[in-house]
Structure 1
Amino acid sequence: MFKKIGPGVLVAAAFVGPGTITVCTLAGVRFGYTLVWAVLLSILATIILQEMAGRIGVISQNGLVDVIKEELKIKWIKNTVIGIVLGAILIGNAAYEAGNIGGATLGLEGLLGETVLSTFFPAIIGFFAFLLLWFSSYKTLEKIFVGLVGIMGVCFVVSAIITKPSLIAIAKGMFVPKLPEGSLLMVIALVGTTVVPYNLFLHASLAKEKWKSKDQLSAVKWDTVISIALGGIVSIAIVITASAAPIQEVGNVMDMAKGLEPLFGKGAIYFMGIGLLAAGITSAITAPLAAAFVASSCFGWDGGMKSKKFKLTWFIVLFLGVFFLSFDIKPIQVIQFAQVANGILLPVMAMLLLWIVNKKSVMGEFKNTLLQNIFGVLIVGFAIFLGAKSILKVIGWF
C-alpha cells in the first residue's frame, strides 16, 4: 500500500497546515460540531479538483502551467494567466511561508516550553526544511511526508478520541448542514484553507514525476482519494477536539491544548505540539516546492528538481518565511496582494482545469465524464464565490 502512495500525501500535508488547524480550531470552539459538514464539503471539492490536476499531469507528462501555455493560443490571455499564476504562487507562497514556519515554531514551543533558544526556533525549522529540500529526491520526500502526515494524523485523531465525543452529534454536524448565526465567514474560511490553488500545480508536477503511464491512472485516483480523505479526517478531528475544549476564544492552536490540559493532563499539550510541528514543517516544505515547480514551468527551465534555478526559487521562498518571522516583520501589503491574486487564481484555475480536462487533444479517452463535469461546474461556481469574497474582504467591502 505504501508503495502506491504518491503525491496525494504531499497535497494533504500542504492543506493541513497551521492555517487550516487554526480555522478548524476556531470553528470547533465557536460552533461545536455544527460545521463539520463544511469540512466534508471542502474535502470532496479538493478530491475532485486534485484528481483532475493529477490526471492532466500523468496523461500530458507536463506541469499544469506547461499545458496552459500550450493550450491558450491568444497571447494576451496566456500572458495574463501566467502573470496571475506567478504573482499568486511565487509572491503568495513567500508571504504565507512565515505562517507555516510560525506554526511549526508554536508546536516546538509547546513541546520544549519557551527557552533561550525560542528566538532561534524559526531558523532551526527553516534549516531543517532546507536540508530536506536540498538533499532529498522526490521519492525520499514522499517517504518523509508519509511519516510526518502519519504522526500528525495520529496526534490529532488521538486528541479527538480522548475527548469522548458524541458520535450522533458528529453525524448530525456532518450530514445535516446548518448555518448558525455568524457562521458564514467561518464556512468560507474552512473551504478556502482546504481548496488551495497552489496544490493544483504541485499535484500535476509531482504526478508526472511518479507515474509515466496511462495504465497507472487508477493508482492516481486512489492515491488522491485516500490521501486527501485522511487529511480531511485530521481536519475533522481538530474540530471535534476544539469542540470539547473549555475555552471561549483561541489566539492559536496551542491555546486549545492549554484548555484541554486540566481535563487530560500534560498529554494534551504534547499531542497538539507534535501535531502542529509536523503540520508546520510539511507546509513549510510544500509551499516553496510548489513555487519552484510553477516558476520552472513558466520560464521553461530544464533539469527538474535538481536544477539550480529550481533550488534557488524554493530557497528564496523559504528564506523570506524565516526572515519575516525571525524579525517579526508583517508584510501586510504583500500578503494583501497575495490574497487578491489567490482570490482571482482559484476560479481562473478551476475554469481552466475543467476546460483542459475536457479537451480530447490533451486527454484523449481520459477526458471528464458527465458526472465529473457536473461536479466540476458546481465547484467552479463556488470558487468564483470564494474568490470574490477574498478580494472584497481585502478591499474592505466584505
Structure 2
Amino acid sequence: MLRTEQRTTSWKLIGPGIVVAATGVGAGDMVASLVAGEKFGYALLWAVVLGCIVKIALAEAAGRWHLATEQTIFDGWRSMGVWTFAFFGPYIVIWGFVYGASAMSATALPLAALFPSVPLWVFAILAGISGLVFVWFNQYAVFEKVMTALVGVMFVTVVGLAVYIGPDFGALAAGLVPSSPDESLFNTLGLIGGVGGTITMAAYGFWVNAKGWRNAAWIRMMRLDNRVAYITTGVFVVAMLIVGAEMLSAGRVALAEGSEGLVSLADVLEERFGRIVSVVFLIGFFSAAYTSIIGVWHGVSLMFADFVGNIRGKANRPVEERETSWEFRAYLLWLTFPPMLLLAVGKPVQLVIAYGVLGSAFMPFLAFTLMWLLNSQRTPQEWRNGIVSNVGLTIAGGLFLVLCANEILGRLGVT
C-alpha cells in the first residue's frame, strides 16, 4: 500500500477518543478510584497514570489497524482463524445481557437519590429505553456531540469537587512514585486495568471510521485524539482518588459496596458541605453512568453489526449503513429489553460466572490479537508496531491476564 499523505491535526476534530474513554469510565471505575483513595490515600496515583498509558497503547493500536489497513478488527480476527469468532460470539451475547442490567441500574442510582419517591427500577427502565431511542434515531455526529457534553458535565462536577475539597499536593506528588502498600496488589491492578477499559476499547476503530477517518492519512489525528481523551480520563480518575483520600480516608468513612458507594459519598458530601454540593456530585455521577449506556448502545451495536456482517459475507459496509442495519438494531433491543428481566429477578449465578470469565478474558484477547495483527504482513510495513507499541501491548496483555486469572478464581470461589 502506498504511503498516504497525512492530514493536518486539529484540536477541533477531537471526538472519537472522548467517546471511547467516556464510555469505558462508568460507576465501577469511580468506585474503584474512591476505594483506592479511601484505603491507601494517594499511594496508588502512579497506577492511574500507568493505566492511562496502557489504554492509550491499546486504543491507538485498534485505531491504527482500522486506518492503516482500511479494514475492521473483525476482518483481522477472521484472518486469524475461526477460533476468534467462536470466542467473540458467545461473549458479546452474554456480555450484553448482563451489562445492560448493570448499566441501567448504575444510571438509576443517582436519579433515585435525587428523587427518592420514585422507585429505582423505574429510572433503570427509563435509562435503558431513552438510550435505545436516542441511538436508534441518531447517527454518529449527534451522538458524539451529546457524549462530549456529558463528558463536560462529569469532568467539571467531579474535578471541581476535588478542587473544592482541596488535595494534599505534597502527597499527590509522592503518589507518582511507584509503591505497593500492604494488601494493595489487586486494588493496584484494578486501577491500572480499569481506567476506561472494556469491550468499548475495540469499538474505538469503528468510531474513528464513523468520524470520517477512513485511511492512514488520519493516523496522526487519531493519535492526538486518543492521547487527549485518556489524559482527560486520567484527570477524572485522579479527581475521584483525591475525593476518596480527602473525604473518606481522612474521615474514616467506609463506602457501601458497588455503585451504591457513590450514593453513600453523596450523603457524606451533604453532611459536610450541604445539599448543593451533593446534588452537583450526583449530576456528575449520572453523566458518567449515562455515557456508558449510550456509548455501549451505539459502539457495541456497531461491533455486533460488523461481526454478523462478516459471518454473512457483508464485511466493510459503510458505518452509516451499519447504523441502520437490522443487526445493529437487533443488538440495541438485546441490550435494552431482556436485561430488564435481571432487574426484577436478579442475576443467575451461572450467568454471572460466564459473564465474569468471558469479560475478563476479552482484554488480553484484544491486546494479544492486536499485537499479532500489527506485527504481521496484514499491516502495511510503515504502520506496523514499533518497540514502544509492542512493549505497551505486552504490558497490557500481561496485566489483563493476571486480572483475568484473579477474576476467574474469584468467580469460582477459590480466592
TM bracket, shorter-chain basis:
over 0.9
Partner of 2:180: 179
| 1:369 counterpart residue number | 386
TM-score in terms of structure 1 length:
0.92
Q: Distance in 2 between matches of 1:18 and 1:323?
A: 21
**In structure 2, distance between residues paired with 1:66 and 1:195:** 25
Could you tell me which residue of structure 1 aligns to residue 352 of structure 2? 335
Equivalent position of 1:40 in the other structure:
49
Counterpart secondary structure, 1:306: coil
Once the two structures are TM-superposed, the CA of residue 184 in structure 1 deviates from its matched residue by 1.3
Rate the CA distance shift 1:197–1:164 in 2: closer, same or farther, 3 A: closer
Residue by residue over 1:81-115, the C-alpha shift from the partner in whole angstroms, topping out at 9 and shown as x without a partner, is: 212222223311321222222221112123x3301
Cα distance in 1 for partners of 2:412, 2:115 equals: 39
1:39, 1:268 → 2: CA distance? 25
C-alpha distance in 1 between matches for 2:104 and 2:206: 24
User: What's the CA shift string for 1:335-387, capped at 9, x where partnerless?
Assistant: 22011112222222211101111224323311112222222222222222222
Q: CA–CA distance in 1 between the matches of 2:283 and 2:215?
A: 38
Distance 1:288 1:320, change over 3 A: farther
Does residue 305 of structure 1 match 2:323? yes
Secondary structure (helix, strand or coil) at the match of 2:378 reads: helix
Aligned position for 1:316: 334
Equivalent residue for 1:294?
A: 303
In the other structure, the counterpart of 2:105 is 102
Moved more, 209-218 or 156-165: 209-218
- Contact between 1:324 and 1:330, CA under 8 Å: does it hold in 2? yes
For 1:319 and 1:60, locate their aligned partners in 2 and report how far apart those are by CA, in whole Å.
Answer: 36
Q: Contact 2:59–2:202 (CA<8 Å) still a contact in 1? A: no
* More off after superposition, 150-159 vs 359-368: 359-368
The answer as to 2:402 corresponding to 1:385 is yes
Q: Secondary structure at the match of 1:116?
A: coil
Amino acid at match of 2:370: L
Q: 7-16 or 181-190: which moved more? A: 181-190
What does residue 269 of structure 1 align with?
Answer: 278
Structure 2 gap ranges (5+): 1-9
- Secondary structure of the 2:13 match is coil
Q: CA deviation at 1:2?
A: 6.0
Other-structure match for 2:203:
202
Q: Structure 1: state its 5+ residue gaps.
A: 73-77
1:9-29, Cα deviation, whole Å (9 max, x unpaired): 111111210111111111112
Distance 1:201 1:372, change over 3 A: closer
Under a length normalisation based on structure 2, what TM-score does the superposition of the two structures give?
A: 0.88
Q: How far apart are 1:197 and its partner, in Å?
A: 4.2
2:7 is the alignment partner of 1:18: no
Partners of 1:311 and 1:277 in 2: CA distance = 25
Does residue 254 (structure 1) correspond to residue 259 (structure 2)? The answer is no
1:6 is aligned to 15
1:18 and 1:346 map into 2 onto residues whose CA distance is: 19
Cα offsets for 1:58-84 (capped at 9, x unmatched) = 222332122211x21xxxxx2222122
* Whole-angstrom distance in 2 between the partners of 1:145 and 1:331: 32
Which residue number corresponds to residue 134 of structure 1? 136
Q: Deviations over 1:110-152 (max 9, x none)?
A: 3x33013544111221222112111111111111111011111
* 1:345 correspondence with 2:365: no
The CA deviation at 1:270 is: 1.2
Q: What is the deviation of 1:255?
A: 0.8
Offset from partner CA, 1:287-315 (integer Å, 9 cap, x none): 23343233222221553111022111122
2:359 counterpart of 1:358: no
Distance in 2 between the 1:182 and 1:345 partners? 26
Q: What is the rounded CA distance, in whole Å, between the counterparts of 1:193 and 1:271 in structure 2?
A: 24
CA displacement at 1:178 relative to structure 2: 1.8
Aligned to 1:233: 235
Instruction: Supply the distance in 1 between the matched residues of 2:245 and 2:129 (Cα, whole angstroms).
Output: 35
Q: Deviations over 1:252-272 (max 9, x none)?
A: 112112112232211331122
CA distance in 2, matches of 1:154, 1:243: 19
Deviation at 1:320, TM superposition (A): 3.1
2:99 aligns to what SS in structure 1?
A: helix
Give structure 1 regions of 4+ aligned residues with deviation exceeding 4 angstroms. Answer: none
| 1:230 partner letter | T
- The 1:276–1:320 alpha-carbon spacing in structure 2 relative to 1, beyond 3 Å, is farther
Secondary structure of the equivalent of 1:180? coil
Q: In structure 1, what residue type is equivalent to 2:107? A: A
Q: Is the 8 A contact 1:104 1:125 kept in 2?
A: yes
Q: Secondary structure at the match of 1:361?
A: coil
Indicate yes or no: 2:89 matched with 1:89.
no
Identity %: 26
Amino acid at match of 1:358: N
Give the whole-Å Cα distance in 1 for the aligned partners of 2:17 and 2:283. Answer: 22
- CA contact 2:132–2:297 (8 Å) conserved in 1: no
Residues 25 and 196, structure 2, Cα contact 8 Å, conserved in 1: no
Structure 1 residues 143-152 or 375-384, which shifts more? 375-384
2:293 to 284, 300, 319: 284
Quick check: 2:151–2:287 contact (8 Å CA) kept in 1?
yes
Q: Do the aligned partners of 2:66 and 2:214 also contact (CA within 8 Å) in 1? A: no
